[in-house]
Amino acid sequence: EAGVAQSPRYKIIEKRQSVAFWCNPISGHATLYWYQQILGQGPKLLIQFQNNGVVDDSQLPKDRFSAERLKGVDSTLKIQPAKLEDSAVYLCASSFTISRTVSYEQYFGPGTRLTVT
């Protein structure tokens, strides 16, 4: 079974530029997550999709970050314009689905390391 795929693996941009990250979840997984992991911290959820609908985007800085999952499979996360504090690893994860009574494991991709200079 193929894992969660992410690209690019590394990206260096200057502040105020834009950048986009791509994620392909495990086949059949309805739920997709984007996390931001700043050095020395645990991952922080940015946005969660169930199929092509947004479940939670409460911690997404909507003035500069956007994400979409148009066909309920692949997803892109965009930052425009980037700030220095956006330097982090952006992790995509997927799970089978979500349920109040069953907690399905999240499977993580390798992440994209973003450096904003």
Peptide bond into 25 cis (omega under 30): no
Q: What share of the chain is helix, strand, coil (3-state, %, to 5)?
A: 5, 45, 50
Q: Which is nearer to another protein, 39 or 70 (CB)?
A: 39
The C-alpha atoms of residue 68 and residue 71 are separated, in whole angstroms, by: 9
State yes or no: residue 8 binds another protein (CB under 8 A). Answer: no
Of 11-19, 65-73, 74-82, 109-117: span binding another protein (CB under 8 A): 109-117
> With binding defined as CB under 8 A, does residue 12 bind another protein?
no
* Of positions 4, 46, 60, 82, contacts another protein by CB under 8 A: 4
Q: Of 1, 27, 53, 58, which one interacts with another protein (CB under 8 A)? A: 58
Burial of 46 (0-12, 13-18, 19+ CB in 10 A): buried
Alpha helices (runs of H) in the chain, residue ranges in sequence order = none
- Note whether 94 binds another protein by CB under 8 A: no
Q: Which residues bind another protein (CB under 8 A)?
A: 4, 31, 33, 40-45, 48, 55-56, 58, 91, 93, 95, 98-100, 102-111
